[in-house]
Amino acid sequence: MSFLSITEIDASYGAVPVLRGVSLQVARGQVVGLIGPSGSGKSSVLRAITGLLRLTAGEVALDGSAVDYANPASLRALRDRVAIVFQQYNLFQNMTALANVTLAPILAKRRDHREVEAEAMALLEKVGLADHMRHYPRELSGGQQQRVAMARALALKPELLLLDEVTSALDPELVNEVLDTIGLLAADGMTMLIVSHEMAFIREVADQVVFMDEGRVVETGPPQHVLDHPCSERAQRFAAKILRRQWRPKTP
């Protein structure tokens, strides 16, 4: 049984359809990369999963149980298990990196402050910010702020992490430090659904790749299949044109 199951979902922004019969499966511990041209519906899939985009048809199920997005209790239960990181960091500018990470577990989950702070410090160390946890967002680079945002999401102890173009707002020189952090999470077995244009990175970390176009899933398979030997004509044109960054995982 898949941990996350998406079956024939449709969604629209007003009268404009953005998802058309999208289906995909994500197993526990699996990393799935969502790729495709801009406007293909990749980010909309993540927003639909979290309830930020209303479904007009289809079903999302987590661990075998369908999510009832009209039921506040069902939606809260989903968001207790799923975290999303957006391309914009959305950090509180008047709080340190550590305070940004500890805020939600303390306020939303009413956990012990000392326990949460210890976990947050460990998370910031994990993402390479042990020396910056007392710094404010204005004192951090874009890549560092994005890593704080990732640590903030991980502080909620999600079972599924959704990453929505988390490097697209960064200067090219800062991209690799964020990709290295995601690579570490993948190596640790975190279940992730990643929207990205970083094709070399997706090839390295993803177990499965889903190619989308015009709100539909066009092709699904292992990275070597979808990226290097796509079957559909649309995926072939995409693979031929996309710029591939030379990301390499950081060696220990």
For residue 244, what pLDDT is reported? 47
Task: Give pTM, 2 decimals.
Answer: 0.91
How far is Cα 198 from Cα 196, in angstroms, rounded to an integer?
5
The CA distances from residue 94 to 29, 104, 134, 170, 176, in Å, are 35, 15, 12, 22, 27
Report residue 110 as tokens. Answer: 């009413």
For residue 16, what pLDDT is reported? 94
Q: What is the CB neighbour count within 10 angstroms for residue 8?
A: 13
Residue 249 is classified by DSSP as P
- The series of mean pLDDT values per 10 residues for the chain, 252 residues long, is 94 95 97 95 97 97 96 95 92 97 91 94 95 97 94 95 90 84 93 93 94 97 93 90 57 58
For residue 252, what pLDDT is reported? 56
For residue 117, what pLDDT is reported? 96
Identity of the residue numbered 165: E
The CA distances from residue 52 to 18, 68, 146, 153, in Å, are 13, 13, 21, 16
Give the closest residue to 230 by CA, choosing from 210, 207, 201. Answer: 210
Q: What is the CB neighbour count within 10 angstroms for residue 198?
A: 26
Four-point Cα dihedral 188, 96, 175, 153, nearest 10: 40
How far is Cα 45 from Cα 11, in angstroms, rounded to an integer?
9
Q: Kindly list the domain boundaries of the chain, sorted by start residue.
A: 93-157
